[in-house]
Homo-oligomer: A and B are copies of this chain.
Amino acid sequence: MHIAITGAAGFLGQRLVKQLLARGELRQHPITRLTLIDQVEAPQPEAGNIAVTSMAMDITQPGALDSVFEQRPEVIYHLAAVVSSAAEADFDLGLRVNFDATRALLEACRKRELSDTRLIMASSVAAYGGDLPEVLDDMTALHPQNSYGAQKAMSELLVNDYSRRGLVDGLVLRLPTIVIRPGRPNAAASSFASSILREPLNGEEAICPVPVELPMFVMSPGKVVDALVHGAEVPGEALGAFRAFMLPGITITVAEMLEALRDAAGEKAFSLVRHEPDPQIESIVASWPARFNTAKATRLGFVGDENFKQIIDAFVTERA
């Protein structure tokens, strides 16, 4: 079993690599080769019998992936992306990485007749937008209000059409907001959602820029990586007429997240969160849908977090 991963040096890529190596098998076949692709060189962990190759390349360059495809990977994780604010700031870069590179991957599979290769792409809640219903479901239209979301939505259509034509065996998972991300706050509008938990759990202050009534749709990094693994194992026939759908996040208000923080780490941690409204962040985050009926993902066996306590506990355990 040869697995190739684009964006392997990224947050999810690195975690996925770790988990695949720990499992040692995928689709009931031992993993023999992992090809890690990223524009920055992905760390190459100890891997016993598994041949791990890290390739630093820009996947938007023509022919960049030829040598990978010669090896006929049986599973491809396509995680390389230019994320939302960067794709909004540089429209051409976003189109090239988020859309054209996906198309090039699909074409490479077609050219090499890798029709049984499972291609798993990560899409986003940011692909939704516009006048949304209270609860979204698998038939809610994608009316993205940012270029990142538009590029993801276009890629979804392409993955679906290549799969429908039998040129590849594709699958697109739309990810909820990931909480709790380790590390430092970043420029993402959703950064606070990790900050208000991570920093107090580390005994540090954090700022909450949104009203605590705000609901969000979240999933822990651990469950997202589990879903990526499961995405390789779901039979193609089960995927139905459209191969992109939302993963089962949990809907939770900021107040409920903070309550869970108090339960897990006490009053002191809870009081480290200062409330300083930032209307700009609020207006962005409030436009993201927070309630989903993820029937398709659930039917296909994708599993979310059970409750928010579990998300906090997993973070604390991992950090220890």
Cα of A154 to Cα of B127 in the assembled complex, Å: 13
Query: Any chain B CB within 8 A of the CB of A204?
Result: no
Whether B139 pairs with A133 at a CB distance below 8 angstroms is: yes
Whether A241 pairs with B150 at a CB distance below 8 angstroms is: no
Listed in ascending order, the chain A residues whose CB lies under 8 Å from chain B are 91, 129-133, 138-145, 147, 150, 153-154, 157-158, 160-161, 164-165, 240-242
Whether A145 pairs with B91 at a CB distance below 8 angstroms is: no
From B91, B131, B150, B242, contact of A160 by CB (8 A): B150
A161 nearest CB neighbor, chain B only: B150
Whether A165 pairs with B241 at a CB distance below 8 angstroms is: no
Q: What does DSSP make chain A's interface, helix, strand, loop or mixed? A: loop
A132 nearest CB neighbor, chain B only: B139
Whether A147 pairs with B130 at a CB distance below 8 angstroms is: no
List 23 A–B pairs whose Cβ atoms lie within 8 Å, in order of A's numbering. A129-B242, A131-B138, A131-B139, A131-B240, A132-B139, A133-B139, A138-B141, A139-B140, A139-B141, A139-B143, A140-B141, A141-B141, A141-B242, A142-B157, A143-B160, A143-B241, A144-B157, A144-B160, A144-B161, A150-B157, A150-B158, A150-B161, A154-B157
A140: B residues at CB distance < 8 A: 139, 141
